[in-house]
Amino acid sequence: SQTIHQWPATLVQPVGSPLSLECTVEGTSNPNLYWYRQAAGRGLQLLFYSVGIGQISSEVPQNLSASRPQDRQFILSSKKLLLSDSGFYLCAWSVKGRGNNSPLHFGNGTRLTVT
Amino acid sequence: QKEVEQDPGPLSVPEGAIVSLNCTYSNSAFQYFMWYRQYSRKGPELLMYTYSSGNKEDGRFTAQVDKSSKYISLFIRDSQPSDSATYLCAMSYTGNQFYFGTGTSLTVIP
C-alpha cells in the first residue's frame, strides 16, 4: 500500500532563517506531488505541484520554492522565512495516468511557527 | 464567488444522531467529488471519492452528489464521538487541480 511521510511534524524557526520541509511517498511510482498550506478558516491553498522530477509549477508568488530531486521526494524550501510563512504545510500525492480518476492523499503535515 | 462553498459550522450533535454535511459549487465542469476528515493537527484523510451524480455508501458514511443543483452531501449515520473532526469537501475536473471547501467542524457529544 502507498504511504506518505512528511517531516518534521512541528517546527519553530526565527524570522530570516532558512527552511527545508521534506516529503516522500512509498508504494507508488511517478506520482503527482503537491504542497499545500492550510490556514484556519481559509481552507487549503495550493503552493506547488509537480508531475515529474525537476518539473515544478508554482501557483502563488511567495517566499517559498519547491524541488523534486527524486521521483518520490518533494522538498519545500525558503532562504529567509517571514512571519507570514507560519502555517500548517501539507504534502499530498495523486496517481498519474488514470486520467482524472485519482483523489489526493495527504501527509500528516508540518506546523511551522516563525517567531 | 468562491468555487466551493462550505458552512464552517461548528456543528454539535448528540451521539447516535445522523449528521448531514454539505457543499455547494459554481463550476458545472466538476466531475470528481471527495470528502476528507481531518483531526486536529493531522492531515486530511480521504473518506469518500465519487464520480458524477448519485450516491455512494461506505459503512456509516454516504456521499451524495446532485450535479443539477451543484450540491454535494456527506451523511454520517449513528455518529460517534470519534467522528468529531473537521470535514472538508473537494472537487476536481482535471488531474492536477483540486478545489476545497473551508471545512465544517463537527463535535459529537457522548
Judge: A99–B46 Cβ closer than 8 Å, yes or no.
no
Flag if A105 and B98 touch (Cβ within 8 Å): no
pLDDT for B94: 73
Mark A79-109 as b/e (b = at least 16 C-beta within 10 Å): eebeeebbbbbbbbbbbbeeeeebbbbbbbb
What is the spatial distance between Cα B21 and Cα B32, in angstroms, rounded to a whole number?
Answer: 17
Give the chain B residue nearest A49 (alpha carbons): B96
Question: Residue B2's CB: how many other CB atoms inside 10 A?
Answer: 12
Q: Averaged over A48-59, what is the pLDDT? A: 93
Cβ within 8 Å, pair B43-A109: yes
Question: Are β-strands B85-92 and B71-76 bridged in parallel, bridged antiparallel, or unpaired?
Answer: unpaired
* Cβ pairs bridging A and B (under 8 Å): 56
Give B29-63 pLDDT, tens digit per residue: 998 999 999 999 999 999 999 987 889 999 999 99
pLDDT band at B95 (very low <50, low <70, confident <90, very high): low
